[in-house]
Amino acid sequence: MSKAVKSLMMKDLSDQLRKVSDVVFVDISKLDGVSNNRLRAASRTQSIGVLAAKFSLARRTLLDMGWKIDGVTGGPTTIAWGPDIVGLAKQAIKWEKEFPGTVVKGGYVGGQTVTPDEVKVLSESPSKEELIAKIIGGLMSAATAAIGAINAPASNLASQIKQLSEKEQAV
């Protein structure tokens, strides 16, 4: 491959990954054409970008972009990225089960390289939506408790006034 072609490929790769901060590296080279097409179609429906590249070329491009990708092995590599890194990790682990021959090679999360085992741990984490729901649930329960605490003295006072009025009516 000539230097001009490599240069164009590196420019295209850097253009596609310029706004991406978290990725998962996957090897899908063992998949047949139909499985590869099904994997790519499924990823598009979930807004996951998938790009196959020669790893040495991708590595050089990512290093030029300032990424520190250590520990990710070479060979055929597909770079996958999406809006949510936890959802992306879950999808990559799902690909391993659904498409035999797919291998998660690692990832790049928050400026650090992660191992395949760490991608698996990340896939077991709650998603962004689940965390938001937990936070909102906690805030709502705290608000409900605060309202109950505010209303409690007035309720107690009303109860005592009612008891006093019942005593006076009985006398």
Tens digits of per-residue pLDDT, 97-110?
Answer: 988 888 898 888 88
Question: Do the beta carbons of residue 112 and residue 68 sit within 8 Å?
Answer: yes
* Residue 93, amino acid: I
- Residues 6 or more apart in contact with residue 21 via CB below 8 angstroms: 110, 111
User: Sign (positive/negative) of CA torsion 156, 160, 165, 170?
Assistant: positive
Question: Do the beta carbons of residue 50 and residue 6 sit within 8 Å?
Answer: no
Residue 18: pLDDT band (50, 70, 90) is: confident
**Segment 12-39 mean pLDDT:** 86
Q: Would the pLDDT of 11 be above 80?
A: yes
Q: Would the pLDDT of 165 be above 80?
A: no
Residue with tokens 């209303």: 151
pLDDT of residue 163: 79
**1-5, 76-80, 158-162 — which is least confidently predicted?**
158-162
**Regarding predicted confidence, which is higher, 163 or 142?**
163
